[in-house]
Amino acid sequence: MKNLYFTGILLIIILFSSCTITQEFHFNKDFSGNYTSTIDMSQLIDMMNSLDSTDGGTGDFKDSLDLILTQAVKKLKTTGVTNLKSGWDANKALFISYDFANIDVLNQALNKSGMNENSTSDEEDFVFFIRKGKTLTYQGIPPKETAEGGKDLGAMKDYYKYKAVFTFDRKIKKSDNPIYKISEDKHKAVMAAPLFDITKKDFNTKVRFKLK
């Protein structure tokens, strides 16, 4: 099973409630930019708040997630990203965001933040983005064998959703994967799908953007 980001959080969410994971990438004309990832926890938090718990309830759960987030932030501080922010937003979503100076910094940060759970200290980092002139290729989510029981989890796919949003200061001239929907102004591309479809090895998330 592929892990999108925040190592360990996904399994916790699966046990409790539905969620939406969103990754947003913005690229300036020089291919510096900003990255934001969020996990919408609103349904889960509301559910836990409604439970009568004497063991800390929502507080203990959020503390556990905060610890995982703190560990991710600590790793990101070694990558060269700037304007690093993390926490909970007003909509009860867990988030992390940062600015990157170039594609190399972004690739390093995505590996450090847990998007490539397959890598070990003895392996090269996964290359998420490749830039050649005004063409930017997103290599997609790193492949990994689906865990046993994946079919059972797939039955819950309507409860777990994933969205990838790419915005550009430059206009998109062309893209080669139709699952990414291009906005009318040609500055945005969005891909949305059930999370458990994304985890299938034959689900192609790779896309090449040719920009003006």
Question: What is the average pLDDT value for the chain, to the nearest integer?
Answer: 79
Least confident of 84-88, 106-110, 188-192: 84-88
| Residue range 146-159: mean pLDDT, rounded | 50
Residues 70-93 pLDDT 10s: 888 899 999 999 999 998 877 678
Q: Write out pLDDT tens, residues 37-63.
A: 998 866 665 565 555 454 555 556 667
Tally of residues, the chain: 212
Give kind and range of the element (H or E) at residue 21: strand 19-27
Using the predicted structure, report yes or no on whether residue 121 has a pLDDT greater than 50: no
pLDDT at res. 148: 44
136-161 as b/e, with b when 16 or more CB fall inside 10 Å? Answer: bbbebbbeeebeeeeeebbeeeebbb
On whether the CB atoms of residues 30 and 24 are closer than 8 A, the answer is no
Are 132 and 119 in contact by the 8 Å Cβ rule? The answer is: no
